[in-house]
Structure 1
Amino acid sequence: MKKICIVGSLNTDIIITTQKYPNRGENISGEKGMVLSGGKGGNAATAVAKLGKEPVLISSVGADYFGDNLLADLRNNRIDITSVKRTPLAGTGLTTIIIDAIAERTMVNAPGANALLSAADIDRTAERIKECGVLLAQLEVAEEAVVQAMKYAKEYGLLVIVDPAPVEGITMRAIRYADILIPNEQETKYLTGIDVNGVDDAVEACRYFETIGIHNSIIKMGHRGALVYASGHWEFIDAIPVEAVDTVVGDTFSGALACSLSEGKNLFQAARFASVVSALKVTRLGPQIGIPTIEEVEKFIDERNLQRFLMT
């Protein structure tokens, strides 16, 4: 089975949980503080590895303490780091995250070395991309690197999934090579101008994506579920009810989706599998340490009797 290529960020996440989100200028006490490995690329690659597939991660970190720790955690998760750039020209990316009493996250990111991943770096990893069957591209690194990776993916016949996050990184150039686009509600509004308040709005947005040449898309709608659209056919997949402790799960979803698609599943089947993995992830804190293994996912499926849900 071919590998899965991920082009995305590596960040150190500084996480604080609190009952009350602070007002501007306010100084309050939190409950728990953690420093964990994160970044959209690292998170998705970790999901791919924990779900039993082989990721090829293309990213960039600084030549610093945070970079050392990130690479050590990736190695511990059996992720090949030979295509991760180390640069002395910028520090490793940092993200400050506040998680409130209802498990919502507020984040500020300093991209650091992620912004220095270049098209030339992608050229140097072209043979690694060629080994893969799926490319998962995210926009928390320099656009030129993302576009160059997608060009190679098209040349080599890879399926291209684009997770268009964060919003400030979205351009038509960054999504034009997507076979499958997987925005959340905020990103969908940025791309289409449509407020996604329900299923009808999500379908309208997916039809808009078709007009610009993207025939397959998934609108991620948080705790409600996801609208899956494939060449005119659509289905709304309800989220699996769980007690959430950390609601940001997009990277786990995208990694699980890529894994299922790499096995030849159709978009609806793959989205159902990604929903199951995501449901288990939101019950755990931590961008990478909270991602379940394939064995834990299979146990969750049995405990919840989700076999029929996955086969529908």
Structure 2
Amino acid sequence: MSVAVDSLNAFALIMPPTPHNCPKITVLGSINMDLVVRCADLPLPGQTITAEAFEEIPGGKGANQAVAAARAGGEVRLIGRVGDDGFGKTLREHLVSEGVDCTCVETTADTASGVAIVAVEKSGENSIVVVPGSNGEVTVADVQRHGDAIRQSDVLMVQLETPRETVEAAIAIARRAGVKVILDPAPAQALPATMLDVDVLCPNETEAVTIAGDRCGTVEEAKQLAAKLRSSGPDVAIITLGDRGTIVDDGMGARLIEPITIKAVDTTAAGDAFAGTLAVRLASGVPLDRAVRLANIAGALAASVAGAQPSLPTADAVTSKADELDAG
């Protein structure tokens, strides 16, 4: 799949600008209610602590990325499932209020919606336990039934909080239709070659190490790891390194996109803000390195605000911050 070219704008050959003004993004993924507790420090094994606050906040990597892409300016459809409980109704209503098309979100009878228990400490770091619920019931038949949503899109975004065979089926539909695929391989797990046949693979460093098995302790090691990931199938490998920046390898040499300095409050959806912004900017024809920088800004802005979906920035907020940084 790799394209040999000699320009940093080469990604335009892989993902040309969408012919319409609003990129069409379809997301296959999880929909959760996040039960968030805020505490001074994360508990140690066997330790009981007192939390400072509790909130119920819509989340799930699929839903987060759908909202992130919608706020970034995309026309977004989400394929997934909620349960027939109170959370399911609330989650669907919230997504619709964010401008996400939920006609491909189905309700599973006698099943609880997905839930994530999120502990966030004062540094902004978090610890998450996910109960899949209805997300585990998203099937290959669901993807096939809503295949037109994928085929009519510019980009398909997928993660790994729904069954792997379902994700593989969605990637296959996109491949046959010539739709570009961005895979955020979270939660971390080893992947078969068929799932790496995507346009963009964007793991964090933990996920990258799990997939490729090499070290990622330094920037140079991360560059080598990105090259190894890219050689395994994707046209572009992107490794997010948090406050150390982002590594990009598109076959023209791995390089570091500098980090954005910002005070972290809650990193829960920073990666989802990154992925959603990246998808929309690339589909809009923004050159790869610039799109990654804007995605870095989106992730940093998300990390500076508490909560998953409430933290996701708008396109205007990202552009404004980019202008401020470029001027400085």
Question: Taking structure 1 as the reference length, what is the TM-score of the superposition?
Answer: 0.94
For residue 106 of structure 1, give the secondary structure of its aligned residue in structure 2.
strand
Shift in alpha-carbon separation, 1:173–1:7, aligned structure 2, 3 A:
farther
Q: Which residue of 1 aligns with 2:248?
A: 228
User: CA-to-partner distance for each residue in 1:98-149, whole Å, 9 max, x for gaps?
Assistant: 1112111001001111111011000111111121111111110011211111
Q: Which residue of 2 aligns with 1:58?
A: 79
| Alignment partner of 2:148 out of 109, 127, 135 | 127
For residue 305 of structure 1, give the secondary structure of its aligned residue in structure 2.
helix
Within 2, Cα distance between the matches of 1:89 and 1:155? 35
Shift in alpha-carbon separation, 1:243–1:154, aligned structure 2, 3 A:
same
1:192 and 2:204 aligned: no
Within 1, Cα distance between the matches of 2:230 and 2:309? 33
Query: 4+ residue runs of structure 1 moved beyond 6 angstroms?
Result: none
1:166 and 2:225 aligned: no
Within 2, Cα distance between the matches of 1:175 and 1:232? 23
1:21 and 2:42 aligned: yes
Count the aligned residue pairs. 306
1:252 and 2:281 aligned: no
1:109 counterpart letter in structure 2: V
| Alignment partner of 2:67 out of 46, 51, 54 | 46
Within 2, Cα distance between the matches of 1:250 and 1:204? 21
Shift in alpha-carbon separation, 1:213–1:300, aligned structure 2, 3 A:
closer
Structure 2 counterparts to residues 132-147 of structure 1, below 5 A: 132-147=153-168
For residue 225 of structure 2, give the secondary structure of its aligned residue in structure 1.
helix
Shift, 1:174, TM fit: 6.1
Shift in alpha-carbon separation, 1:52–1:214, aligned structure 2, 3 A:
closer
Shift, 1:289, TM fit: 0.9
1:103 and 2:145 aligned: no
Within 1, Cα distance between the matches of 2:300 and 2:48? 33
Shift, 1:266, TM fit: 2.8
Within 1, Cα distance between the matches of 2:108 and 2:166? 15
1:197 counterpart letter in structure 2: G
| Alignment partner of 2:176 out of 149, 152, 155 | 155
For residue 16 of structure 1, give the secondary structure of its aligned residue in structure 2.
strand
Contact 1:41/1:138 (8 A) holds in 2: yes
Within 1, Cα distance between the matches of 2:320 and 2:227? 37
User: CA-to-partner distance for each residue in 1:33-68, whole Å, 9 max, x for gaps?
Assistant: 111000001000001111121111111111111111
2:69 counterpart letter in structure 1: V
Unaligned ranges ≥5, structure 2: 1-19
Within 2, Cα distance between the matches of 1:128 and 1:221? 32
Contact 1:143/1:174 (8 A) holds in 2: no
Within 1, Cα distance between the matches of 2:257 and 2:132? 33
Moved more, 206-215 or 108-117: 206-215
How high is the sequence identity, in percent, across the aligned residues?
A: 33
Contact 2:58/2:94 (8 A) holds in 1: yes
Shift, 1:96, TM fit: 0.4
Q: Which residue of 1 aligns with 2:58?
A: 37
User: CA-to-partner distance for each residue in 1:145-177, whole Å, 9 max, x for gaps?
Assistant: 111111110111111111000014x42156232
Q: RMSD across aligned C-alpha pairs, in angstroms?
A: 1.5
1:26 counterpart letter in structure 2: Q
Shift, 1:305, TM fit: 3.4
Moved more, 16-25 or 70-79: 16-25
Q: Which residue of 1 aligns with 2:112?
A: 91
Using CA pairs under 8 Å that are at least 6 residues apart, name the structure with larger relative contact order, 1 or 2.
Answer: 2
Question: Taking structure 2 as the reference length, what is the TM-score of the superposition?
Answer: 0.89
1:243 and 2:285 aligned: no
Within 1, Cα distance between the matches of 2:145 and 2:327? 42
